[in-house]
Amino acid sequence: MKYLMLKHYRGGPAPAVDSPPMDQWTPEEVDAHMTYMSDFAKRLVETGEFVDSQALSAEGAFVRHDGEGRPPVTDGPFAETKDLIAGWMIIDVESWDRALELAGELSAAPGAGGEPIHEWLEVRPFLTGVPGNTE
Amino acid sequence: MITDGLRELVPAVIGVLVRRGADFASAEDAVQEALIRALETWPDDPPRDPKAWLVAASWRKFLDAVRSDSSRQGRELAVDLEPPAGPVAGADDTLRLYFLCAHPTLPPASAVALTLRAVGGLTTRQIATAYLVPEATMAQRISRAKKRIEGLALDRPGDLGTVLRVLYLVFNEGYGADGTEHTDLAGEAIRIARQLAALTDDPEVAGLLALMLLHHARRATRTGPGGRLIPLAEQDRSRWDTGMIAEGVAILQAALARDRLGDYQAQAAIAALHADAPSTAETDWVQIVEWYDELLALTDSPVVRLNRAVAVGEADGARAGLAALADVDPGLPRRAAVAAHLHERAGDLARAAELYAEASRTATSVPERDHLTRETARVRQLLRP
């Protein structure tokens, strides 16, 4: 079963720990955080559970169709949005409990002072492409 | 093409290497490497004796691995360069391979991957593509599975039940796919089940093979344009594969005649009754309900109860179906969809629309969700004045 672990720049429940934003950490603290994330991903490759991991820029825009022959309308950057996605990791695991266990570990990535940041991660099951035998 | 028969050689060649003294994990790796080489070279330069080629190439890969391992660890080379003239690997070795790959200590996803590689003769890349994970992840999953079963001798008695469950998992994973974009997992499961049926005389193996054939025969009619799900009642029965149905029915009848009923035979019997009917209305629902009762007596499961409620609804009317549904765990996926269908048949369109909407929200696959969304929309349209 595949699950998406979503990391947010903003949004989700109120932070459990009041930690300063990343650009106010020391370079060593930033390195430690990044190393934790990449070690975590490597470990999931070894356990046969890793599918994908990507980070997103905070820049970008909302876009929509505005009628035939007209250029698409954009809105953004996202200064006003309450919820801003920072990136994701996709895992393929045996159970929902295992997905929660891994998300809990990822949320313990170190931040300022080397302490776990306790950040909220959003975990969502994938809908499969296989309808299953429904007859 | 010459490579078509290649995969079928894989389990026997692993057996040969194990007979010659290789451990299962190294033998399996060596055959996989030789297999990849064969896939590259055979189309241009086909061997006269494919099996001898694969044995020789695998044995060389195995020796290379042992040599590099020995030199790395400063150990003496423990294996003779020349293969010992041991007995030839036979059907029993291949059967033990099935048991080992589907060993009950393995998580299902690992047993599936290992079975597809060592028994099915697929490459790691093909398996990774079929399950939409990176090749490195799949390679690790397989290598961990092999570590987990290390030391389990190939001669332990195996559990046929877990082998069948693994094959059915593979089949169901390929159930919705059309077999063109990715590895044809449903076809692969049928191919492996055929090999297994040739190695054993267990009626449940025949039952599973019949079940898969009877479902597979309807494959072309189960999805419409854009992967849209077409329910049994609306399928174009003239396009069902009658040859495959006949084969499934013959295999099932031979199995049932042995009077050792099991889950797969009972499920195949239900599939055969559907395959035999010219339409939903002309289906022998009474007999289908009886088979569901047999299934319940064999294994009581919420899914069987749910499917039985559908059949009761057809045999005895929607009210009876709803009464049967009262016994089914409310947390079961698809329960709301069945309830919606039965309420619609009973004339309660408002309740049906609510339940279809609920079912689409809790669907676990995209085709089901889309189908249930369309059903919600259809019933809501009927409700408009």
B368 touches A: beta carbon within 8 Å: yes
**Domain span at residue B345?**
333-385
CB A120 within 8 A of CB A15: yes
DSSP-derived pairing of the beta strands A50-55 and A2-10: unpaired
B21 residue type, one letter: G
In the numeric block, the tokens 């050689």 are attached to B9
Q: pLDDT, tens digit, for every residue of B232-251?
A: 999 999 999 999 999 999 99
Alpha helices per DSSP H over chain A: 27-46, 96-106
Cross-chain Cβ contact B175/A92 below 8 Å: no
Give mean pLDDT, residues B269-296: 97
Give mean pLDDT, residues A13-27: 87
Q: Which helix (H) or strand (E) holds B266?
A: helix B263-276
Give me the pLDDT at residue B343, please. 98
Closest CB to A51: pick one of B137, B144, B334. Answer: B137
Give mean pLDDT, residues B209-227: 93
What is the spatial distance between Cα A18 and Cα A5, in angstroms, rounded to a whole number? 22
**Which residues are within 8 A (CB) of B370 and not within 5 positions of it... i.e. 6 or more apart?**
B228, B229
**Domain span at residue A100?**
2-125
Q: How many CA atoms lie less than 13 Å away from B270 in the CB half-sphere?
A: 22
Give me the pLDDT at residue A17, please. 84
Which 3 state secondary structure label does DSSP give B371? Answer: helix
- Whole-number CA gyration radius for chain B: 24
The answer as to whether A44 is a domain residue is yes
Chain B: residue whose CA lies nearest to A92? B133
What is the spatial distance between Cα B194 and Cα B192, in angstroms, rounded to a whole number? 5
A97 touches B: beta carbon within 8 Å: no
The answer as to whether B354 is a domain residue is yes
Rounded to 5 degrees, φ, ψ at B215 are: -75, -40
Question: Rounded mean pLDDT of chain A?
Answer: 90
Answer left, alpha or beta for residue B228, where phi above 0 means left and psi between -120 and 50 means alpha: beta
Nearest Cα residue to B323 out of B297, B344, B298, B305:
B305
What is the spatial distance between Cα B58 and Cα B342, in angstroms, rounded to a whole number? 58
B105 touches A: beta carbon within 8 Å: no
Give mean pLDDT, residues B108-117: 96
- pLDDT > 60? residue B252: yes
Q: pLDDT, tens digit, for every residue of B295-309?
A: 999 999 999 999 999
Cross-chain Cβ contact B175/A132 below 8 Å: yes
In the numeric block, the tokens 């079928």 are attached to B8
Chain A: residue whose CA lies nearest to B367? A131
Cβ-Cβ contacts under 8 Å, B137 against chain A:
44-45, 48-51, 92
Give me the pLDDT at residue B83, please. 55
- pLDDT > 90? residue B135: yes
The answer as to whether A134 is a domain residue is no
Cross-chain Cβ contact B134/A130 below 8 Å: no
Q: How confident is the model at residue A130 (pLDDT cuts 50, 70, 90)?
A: confident
- pLDDT > 50? residue B176: yes
The answer as to whether B381 is a domain residue is yes
The answer as to whether B365 is a domain residue is yes
Number of domains in chain B: 1
CB B200 within 8 A of CB B222: no
Higher pLDDT, B107 or A59: B107
The answer as to whether A100 is a domain residue is yes
Which 3 state secondary structure label does DSSP give B105? Answer: coil
Q: How far is A45 from chain B (nearest CA, A)?
A: 5
Cβ-Cβ contacts under 8 Å, B136 against chain A:
45, 50
Residues 202-241 of B with CB under 8 A from A: 215, 227, 229, 231-232
The answer as to whether B362 is a domain residue is yes
- Domain harbouring A77, CATH code: 3.30.70.1060
- pLDDT > 90? residue B164: yes
State ipTM: 0.86
Q: How far is B23 from chain A (nearest CA, A)?
A: 22
Q: Pick the range with the lowest mean pLDDT from B40-44, B246-250, B262-266.
A: B40-44
Question: How far from B203 is each of B170, B358, B375, CA to CA, in Å?
Answer: 20, 40, 39
CB B313 within 8 A of CB B320: yes
Output the CA angle B369-B370-B374, nearest 5 degrees. Answer: 115
Q: How confident is the model at residue B81 (pLDDT cuts 50, 70, 90)?
A: low
Give me the pLDDT at residue B39, please. 93
Cβ-Cβ contacts under 8 Å, A52 against chain B:
134
What is the spatial distance between Cα B244 and Cα B256, in angstroms, rounded to a whole number? 18
**Which residues are within 8 A (CB) of B99 and not within 5 positions of it... i.e. 6 or more apart?**
B156, B157, B158, B159, B160, B162, B163
Dump strand ranges (E) for A1-135.
2-10, 50-55, 62-64, 73-75, 84-92, 121-125
CB B380 within 8 A of CB B357: no
Give mean pLDDT, residues B197-201: 92
What is the spatial distance between Cα B178 and Cα B224, in angstroms, rounded to a whole number? 11
What is the spatial distance between Cα B104 and Cα B159, in angstroms, rounded to a whole number? 8
The answer as to whether A57 is a domain residue is yes
The answer as to whether B379 is a domain residue is yes
Cross-chain Cβ contact B366/A129 below 8 Å: yes
Closest CB to B137: pick one of A45, A125, A131. Answer: A45
The answer as to whether B86 is a domain residue is no
What is the spatial distance between Cα B264 and Cα B214, in angstroms, rounded to a whole number? 12
Which candidate in B114, B116, B137, B223 is best for mutational testing of the A interface (most A CBs within 10 A)? Answer: B137
Number of domains in chain A: 1
Nearest Cα residue to B291 out of B241, B279, B274, B329:
B274
Cβ-Cβ contacts under 8 Å, B231 against chain A:
134
CB B156 within 8 A of CB B141: no
> If you count residue pairs, one on A and one on B, with CB atoms under 8 Å apart, how many are there?
82
The answer as to whether B113 is a domain residue is no
Q: How far is A130 from chain B (nearest CA, A)?
A: 5
Closest CB to B334: pick one of A50, A129, A134. Answer: A134
Cross-chain Cβ contact B137/A92 below 8 Å: yes
CB B229 within 8 A of CB B367: yes
Cβ-Cβ contacts under 8 Å, B363 against chain A:
127
Q: How confident is the model at residue B90 (pLDDT cuts 50, 70, 90)?
A: low
Question: How far from A116 is each of A31, A32, A104, A112, A119, CA to CA, in Å?
Answer: 14, 11, 11, 8, 8
The answer as to whether B380 is a domain residue is yes
- pLDDT > 90? residue A59: no
Q: pLDDT, tens digit, for every residue of A73-113?
A: 998 777 777 788 999 999 999 999 999 999 999 999 999 99
- pLDDT > 50? residue B180: no
Most confident of A19-28, B69-78, B172-181, B203-212: B203-212
Give me the pLDDT at residue B75, please. 58
Question: Rounded mean pLDDT of chain B?
Answer: 90
Chain A: residue whose CA lies nearest to B136? A45
Higher pLDDT, B85 or A99: A99
Question: How far from A47 is each of A50, B139, B360, CA to CA, in Å?
Answer: 8, 10, 33
Give me the pLDDT at residue B152, please. 75
Give me the pLDDT at residue B179, please. 44
Q: How far is A126 from chain B (nearest CA, A)?
A: 8
Please report, rounded to a whole number, the percentage of residues in chain B having pLDDT higher than 70. Answer: 91
Cross-chain Cβ contact A129/B134 below 8 Å: no
The answer as to whether A131 is a domain residue is no
The neighbour count for residue B288, using CB atoms within 10 Å, is 23
Give mean pLDDT, residues B171-187: 72
Give mean pLDDT, residues B182-188: 83
Nearest Cα residue to B126 out of B36, B25, B196:
B36
The answer as to whether A73 is a domain residue is yes
pTM for the model stands at 0.89
Q: How far is A102 from chain B (nearest CA, A)?
A: 16
Q: How confident is the model at residue B71 (pLDDT cuts 50, 70, 90)?
A: confident
Q: pLDDT, tens digit, for every residue of A61-74?
A: 899 999 999 999 99
Q: How far is B46 from chain A (nearest CA, A)?
A: 35
Rounded to 5 degrees, φ, ψ at A121 are: -115, 145
Alpha helices per DSSP H over B159-218: 160-173, 185-199, 203-216
- pLDDT > 60? residue B77: no
Give me the pLDDT at residue B245, please. 98
Output the CA angle B317-A132-B116, nearest 5 degrees. Answer: 145
Higher pLDDT, A23 or B47: B47
